Chains A and B, each alone.
Chain A
């Protein structure tokens, strides 16, 4: 059987499992007895930052040695960052020529140089490891629906299983670890949510960046609302179709969890965290930091967070738009890192960027198109810092890394990246195989992202 078929067969198997959701749910809750987060006596949080639209991440790590920069500039033309807009990285610990980041990322250059941040290079969805020659000879080895935004977002979030699946790998972690004695999900999204956080049985709680909000006039802590609230709650209980039941359950979840979170946040020690103003990602991460700061009041030894930033689909105006996006990203991540450090939680919190694809090395003069592989940032005290981890393709066209027009073939799969994170998070090898069903196709030991 060819790999494409195996790839999809796995997907059908998962879909079939969805069919008997009830049985799966039972199985999972039986497992929880020994698998819940209460098995950990330490705290860890995993923060995923999704960059919607496809970050031109090959323009986030730029070769600066004379010949390599010239080649980069020749390839990328008007899209190339000028040398005087770059800040050098200290690559002492790497077997690499000199490279730099755009100077708008200087807060992250500092974190890189001080060992708190690394770059995981050339990551993307893969059916299995494959060379350009193999991919050209057998298109079945290409993941389905490459270059389509939502399809590739789905592949990143379901760990390459299926573009149609509704269960993400953060959600799978929650399915394995969620405590059953609380209504508060361990998977929390800020602002909006996506497949990544959705478990088969554990849906994420979505919070606003400003924190939990009360129901006006239906507030359980307002005495004058009680009569109304009681009638309202009775109506929720009368919901008798699948759609209205789901709606009712979201209201109940919001109400119950708002109270839990408000109670915990009320105990939050004051901090001198400074987040950049007018930075939507910064606001989301600020809320994440708040939730991390009260993890013990929330009785959450494990937390997974999903946040996002849109606008990366730079088909035009890229020389203006991309630096602005990188600045937003960098200032937000750096502020978050400072905040976490001040809490003394650096080693407990790991932050990772994700984006559906990198972009073409060719351009349409002032913008780029949908590519395949891209680089991601990983940040935190547990991370092996100041490294470029993985293969770093040259920014030239027609190389063995280039599928065509500068769409770069990944050399590290999402499974490898995810499995490395899940291992750090404390998941067993067996659990990792459940979360990333295709992990056995790849070298699991390849990525050394963490110091421990």
Chain B
């Protein structure tokens, strides 16, 4: 039965306004900005805009580089961030839910295409780009994955993504708490249904959530200084942050939680009346009430209420000295560079410790500190050879798409807009909320033997950019630009390369200059430009203008220079 009803069909048009410029919502193409427009945009300003958008969004779109360059000519990066923060949140769950209810025929067995469509819409078209990008980074810190029982709850895990979006500029302590109580995380790391010890049956609390909360979400394995360097003992050895007894103490704290509304009577009927949208609740009789010695001088006295015990446990981690550099390093590595200096880490960690108003854990302060740091912004730092990072394959994909999606896209709420990208992981070895395990797609300290190791560099993303995956990364470009499915996709999104053709109408130099800033952050060398020029010369008389554009883009998208950001 086809349930698509034309009457219920809602059509709206997204207008891409200045990403940084206008603070308020607007339906028009007004060029409202917070200060006087400056029409004399220079190439260094374009480069700075391109770098900022590469780091802090899913890629520059349409005229965004000119717009942001103009904005930055009159305002600082903090103002750009503030404007971003004020954009309305583009949520995923309502879209996925709507698509799901409208698309029973298309959905088949799984709602995954609907969740993916919601992600693509928000990541590619959402105006709250910085928030979306931060949530994506957080989704690789507080990892849950569809490669688990959660694969059966695709729409519900979109709601978990919304939780991350909601906290992107909020307080880390609240984020920790909402994640801890999330039934999605509860199912993924088996805290949900975790019960107090029963010694006669050799039953002791499940250590899964306690262990990964500490190792992966908050403080890590070894004690750190504020700059992220390891603290060493008198023998020069690393000092473990916790031991097995600590894990057990926290595991005892995290007992007694289950789906909201669960009672002692149906505790063992795991999925009875399940509710993935409401935070978990405590069932007292399954909570261990003995005292627990926690980290950092914290303890839970015997007889403490379960909710209070959970608060104390989260506080003990939140207040731990490892917490600030742990989050600082993660955010820097995801947004700016894989190998920040210890000073850079310390500066961002200090912002975590205190946002300037005495508040610890303010993520807006952390994100701002990451983005405005001299190491993120000054050529003196970012022009060094070891600087920057290999882009995550999925982010490379969004950058390709955002560079080509025209300013106006017709978005309907009752059909999939990005159906050809549902199985993007076949190309990228990566999809949102699709990591192989709680250890994410790659480890933050992954190293590649050879030159990179000899330079002391960590290169996390290379863990999934293996020799088989470079082929598939490359083949996404061919799929998108040349396959029949790619053609359907481009037609639906109205991707016709008009903007690029207009440049080419001028001459190939205009096109090359455009590509330089849109895709290569203004780093294109003369030799590189010459290759594009020569190849275009070869084919110019033979193929159409549209094909010339696609050929040039094919070369750029598959080049190693596009695979890295500096």
Contact = CB atoms under 8 A, between A and B. Distances in A.
Interface size bracket, A side: 35 or more
A228 B555 contact: yes
B203 A8 contact: no
Contact of A166 (B193, B208, B453, B555): B453
Given A217-B478, A227-B538, A241-B385, A362 B471 contact: no
Interface stretch (A18-26, A129-137, A270-278, A429-437): A18-26
Given A151-B221, A167-B449, A363-B202, A235 B467 contact: no
B451 A192 contact: no
* Closest A-B pairs by Cβ, 9 of them: A216-B478, A21-B454, A206-B466, A364-B206, A247-B560, A244-B560, A166-B447, A231-B535, A315-B208
Contact of A232 (B455, B464, B559): B559
Contacts of A245: 451, 560
A206 B202 contact: no
A365 B195 contact: yes
Given A227-B538, A313-B437, A244 B563 contact: yes
Interface stretch (B106-114, B119-127, B157-165, B525-533): B525-533
Given A4-B237, A21-B453, A369-B208, A251 B203 contact: no
A232 to B, nearest CB: 6
Contacts of A234: 531
B495 to A, nearest CB: 18
Given A235-B559, A254-B467, A246 B448 contact: yes
A191 B453 CA distance: 23
B564 interface: yes
B468 A254 contact: yes
Contact of B467 (A53, A166, A206): A206
B389 A243 contact: yes
B551 to A, nearest CB: 7
Contacts of B539: 227
Contacts of B202: 75-77, 361-363, 397, 406
A248 interface: yes
B27 interface: no
Interface in B421-448: 429, 436-437, 439, 443, 445-448
Contacts of B467: 205-207, 250, 253-254, 257
A151 B211 CA distance: 13
Contacts of B462: 246
5 contacts: A20-B454, A147-B247, A167-B449, A241-B388, A364-B195
B437 A208 contact: no
A244 B558 contact: no
A148 interface: yes
Contact of A363 (B203, B237, B244, B429): B203
A396 to B, nearest CB: 11
A282 interface: no
A299 interface: no
A61 interface: no
Interface string B371-410: 0000000000000011011100000000000000000000
A242 B555 contact: no
B457 to A, nearest CB: 7
Contact of A247 (B429, B445, B470, B528): B470
B206 A217 contact: no
B482 A241 contact: no
A150 B143 CA distance: 15
B474 A216 contact: yes
B235 interface: yes
Contact of A21 (B208, B247, B450, B474): B450
Given A20-B454, A216-B479, 4 more contacts: A213-B468, A246-B451, A254-B468, A315-B208
A218 B474 contact: yes
Given A254-B467, A364-B194, A369-B207, A216 B449 contact: no
A397 B531 CA distance: 69
A145 B190 contact: no
A213 B207 contact: no
Interface residues of B, number: 82
A343 interface: no
Interface centre among A22, A78, A208, A315 (most CB of B within 10 A): A315
A227 B235 contact: no
A310 B465 CA distance: 19
B204 interface: yes
Interface string B190-216: 100111001001111111100100010
Interface of A: 4-5, 8, 18-22, 52-53, 75-78, 144-151, 164, 166-167, 171, 189, 191-193, 198-201, 203, 205-208, 213-218, 227-228, 231-232, 234-236, 238-248, 250-251, 253-254, 257-258, 310, 313, 315-317, 361-365, 367, 369-370, 397, 404-406
Given A216-B478, A364-B194, A238 B204 contact: no
B329 interface: no
B386 to A, nearest CB: 6
A316 to B, nearest CB: 4
B449 A5 contact: no
Contact of A213 (B446, B448, B472, B525): B472
Contacts of A145: 221, 240
Contact of A53 (B211, B437, B447): B437
B251 to A, nearest CB: 8
A202 B350 CA distance: 41
Contacts of B439: 149-150
B449 A166 contact: yes
A367 B531 contact: no
A317 B270 CA distance: 11
B237 A8 contact: yes
B218 interface: no
A405 B474 CA distance: 49
A205 B389 CA distance: 22
B469 interface: yes
B471 A214 contact: yes
Contacts of A251: 470, 474, 560
B74 interface: no
B203 A364 contact: yes
B560 A239 contact: yes
A363 to B, nearest CB: 6
Contacts of B468: 191, 206-208, 213, 254
Contact of A238 (B195, B386, B531): B531
B475 interface: yes
